A and B are shown apart, each in its own frame.
Chain A
Amino acid sequence: MHSSTSSFERPVPAMPWTGLAVAAYLIAAVVTVAWEIRVRSQGYEPTLNDTTDLWADRREAVRPDALVVIGDSRPLFDIDLDALEEGLGKRPIQLAIAGSGAYPILENLANDESFKGDVVVSLVPAMFLTPGGYLEQASKDALRRHRSRSPSQRFSHHIAMFLEERIAFLQQEDLTLAMLLQNIEIPNRPGALVPPRFPPYFQTVDRERRTRMADECAIVGSPMQQAVTASWQRLFVPPPPPTWIPPEVFRETMGKGIEARFGETAAAIAKIRARGGRVVWVRFPHTAWVKEMENIGTPRAPTWDRMLQVTGAPGIHFEDHPELAGFDCPEWSHLSAPDSVEFSKRLAPHLKRAFEERQPKS
């Protein structure tokens, strides 16, 4: 029988490991500082990353009578929380998610029995109505984080926010190793089904998820503005249908999914209203090529008009109100930071009136 004193010890290579550790950490520190200086010289500044943790923080802040904003990136950029609070007497909670289909968030609020507040929903038809896919997944990921955050994830998130507010290279949309590799221009094979890249970093985000367009992006003709508009031209073109599903089957499935989405949305809104909550649709400004594409791909009548009719909720379409229609989107899809403040001031009275409209309980 083995005694309990038999020995097993891993060898440690004969090297001055403590000195090597100090040298390695010093070199890494110097290189990291140099990298920080470089990215700042390229125009990056410290900002929070709009992660699912940051979203989950805001979801946890939703009280029963809260004013909540959901949707895609447009309300993120275009709504100024201070201006809307001033106009509506209630500080909005920003739950919109860039590049998302917001239906799962609406459904989550509808199924939250404690929630009986007000909801502003941005409608970009191609994003809201598309069933499944990565658009909905963005919302589902955020909800999953909200439902199942571990204490270590919360702690990690707080450390991350502390660091991100001070260090510019902690920028997950552009400056992770994976994103830096993606940015290396290597031609793809003809016909390769490579998804388009998302636009480069062009915003700052704070702890309330107030998102402001970077100043450079607001300058038409600047490299950043051109990079963002170029990325819209790739992103707003619908991806090719899957090759393993016959086109007619795919079209029929999508058609049924979109049709079902109208019904599901009406049911979710009815649930919120039944508890005394109120819902208003908003179509935020977009211009130039993006507007042309949206008008062709998702004309107003079968999308916006139909959604208002099916759900019975009031809507504010920027084109219907001259004071909302005159804004220019520098990169065709979002307002600049100064314009977002003015837009929010002008939007507030419309929202107030819409919320005060009699909304049927079911």
Chain B
Amino acid sequence: MEGFLVQMGVQYRAPAIDVILPVGISFYTFQTLSYTLDIYRRQLAPAASFRDFALYVAFFPQLVAGPIVRAIDFLPQCVSPTPPRAGRFAWGMFLMTLGLFQKVVLADTLLAGASDAVFRYGGKLAMIDAWAGVLGFSAQIFFDFSGYSTCAIGLALCLGFSLPDNFKFPYAAVGFSDFWRRWHISLSTWLRDYLYIPLGGNRHGSLRTGFNLVVLMFLGGLWHGAAWTFVVWGLIHGFYLVVEHTLRTLFGDPRFFSTLLSKIAIGLLTYAAVCFAWVFFRATDFGTAWRIVESMVGITGTADKLLATRELLQVGIVTVILLTAHWMLRETSIEKVAARTPMWLIAGVWATMLFFLILNQGSANAFIYFQF
């Protein structure tokens, strides 16, 4: 609130309220809302058992950072538990290892240093440093959040529960609606089903559709925190979606867009635009955001070289591997890939991830999405 009022020119200092918020409050608010609305819409029968309902709301693997689970997906698993299946526990362990590796090794060890340094710096940056910080953060937030979701899915599997996917190789998205079908899927589908469609969705003409998209993304941004930078991040995505919708309305889907080359070109454009938006998501204030944007386009004049060559290389190599992997896997799933991978390779990759996790020795940071 203070931040909002200060931006509006009102000096206000809210009294300090020392409240301990329940763990995962924003995520179980989403879940209980969807449960209530589904029952109201007669799409779901109320849970017969309070114990099952409590487990649905407070299921610890996904409680603090998602994925947001629908009652319609989870409650039946409480009523009719799936019978034990050979390998499910170990596959869950593999997913937990993969998720931890994404978080601890890729996000925290290889990427966080560059992005933290760039977004903390008070001066003008050389173009390559600014881009490294932004690309580093783009990859960091993916590995951090996707890593948590993968851990949650794996841990739930170990306990005999199935959780939905939360990410589907989003940096290979072709266009922004495709991006939101692949990024934080459980949030974007929640907003679609309980906000966008009730607002009218795309059923009342282009103008209303555009308005709905902007409202949707404004609230999506605001959900991340009471700061104008998050709102601007949401509005930028709202703008992207409106532009995309308008272009589709005007030109349809021209045939040449379906060629691989044009898909890659549009995909890279989408990725660059998403990275630009991340600047406002990560920056703590607009001064920092503008400074980084200016540095990214190289209009800063004299600028500082902040990052070590090693950090530039780390960000560059991880980003190239990340984008390549997302493009190679965009039409498939981790399960399908695992099923056709040689066993020796799976064992080797698994062991390597375990060893790198051991090498990190508890030096990891908290998950970024724990704050939301």
Asked if A14 CB lies within 8 Å of chain B CBs, one says: yes
Known: A8-B76, A244-B124. A176 touches B335 (CB 8 A): no
Contact B44 A1 (CB under 8 A): yes
Chain B residues positioned under 8 Å from A187 (CB to CB): 309
User: Across the two chains, which residue of chain A brings its CB closest to B156?
Assistant: A10
Chain B residues, CB < 8 A from A21: 90, 93-94, 350
Distance between Cα atoms of A146 and B279 in the complex (Å): 34
Q: Are B304 and A193 in contact (CB under 8 A)?
A: yes
Residues of B within 8 A of A244 (CB): 122-124
Contact between B354 and A24, CB atoms less than 8 A apart: yes
User: Are the CB atoms of A193 and B306 closer together than 8 Å?
Assistant: yes
Interface residues on B, range: 35 or more
Residues of B within 8 A of A20 (CB): 90, 94, 343, 346-347, 350
Chain B contacts for A293, CB-based, 8 A: none
- From known contacts A4-B48, A16-B343, infer whether A10 and B162 are also in contact, taking CB-CB under 8 Å: yes
Known A20-B90, A32-B355, A244-B122; judge A15-B339 contact (CB<8 A): yes
Whether A4 contacts B76 in the complex (CB less than 8 A), given A12-B88, A156-B362, comes out as: yes
Q: Does B320 contact A (CB under 8 A)?
A: no
B249 at interface, CB cutoff 8 A: no
Best-surrounded residue of B85, B105, B124, B358 (most CB of chain A within 10 A)? B358
Contact between chains at B351 and A5 (CB < 8 Å): no
Which residues on B sit within 8 Å (CB–CB) of A295?
Answer: none
A15–B361 CB distance below 8 A: no
Q: How large is the interface on A (under 10, 10 to 19, 20 to 34, 35 or more residues)?
A: 35 or more
Across the interface, do B309 and A186 meet the contact criterion of CB distance under 8 Å? yes
In the complex, the chain A residue whose C-beta lies closest to that of B313 is A186
Q: Give chain A residues whose Cβ lies under 8 Å from the Cβ of B351.
A: 23-28, 31
* Stretch with Cβ within 8 A of B (4 or more), from A177-185, A265-273, A283-291, A308-316: A177-185
Q: B301-320, CB under 8 A of A: which get 1 and which 0?
A: 01011111110011000000
A24 near B335: Cβ-Cβ < 8 Å: no
> Does any Cβ of B come within 8 Å of A359's Cβ?
no
| Cβ < 8 Å to A, chain B residues 291-306 | 302, 304-306
Instruction: Evaluate contact between A27 and B308: CB separation under 8 angstroms.
Output: no
- Binary flags per residue of A58-69, CB closer than 8 Å to B gives 1, else 0: 000000000000
Task: Give the Cβ gap from B227 to chain A, nearest Cβ, in Å.
Answer: 23
B359 touches A181 (CB 8 A): no
Give Cα A15 to B342, complex, Å: 10
- Binary interface encoding of chain B residues 4-43 relative to chain A, with 1 for a CB under 8 A from any of its CBs, else 0: 0000000000000000000000000000000000000011
B214 within 8 A of A: no
Least Cβ–Cβ distance between B18 and chain A, in angstroms:
13
What are 28 A-B pairs at a CB distance below 8 A? Answer: A1-B42, A1-B43, A2-B43, A2-B44, A4-B47, A4-B48, A6-B76, A7-B76, A8-B76, A13-B336, A20-B347, A20-B350, A21-B90, A21-B93, A21-B350, A24-B347, A170-B361, A176-B109, A178-B113, A178-B360, A178-B363, A180-B359, A187-B309, A189-B309, A191-B305, A192-B305, A193-B304, A242-B122
| Chain B interface residues (CB < 8 Å from chain A) | 42-45, 47-48, 72-77, 79-80, 82, 85-91, 93-94, 105, 109-110, 113, 122-124, 153, 157, 162-164, 302, 304-310, 313-314, 335-336, 338-339, 343, 346-348, 350-351, 354-356, 358-363
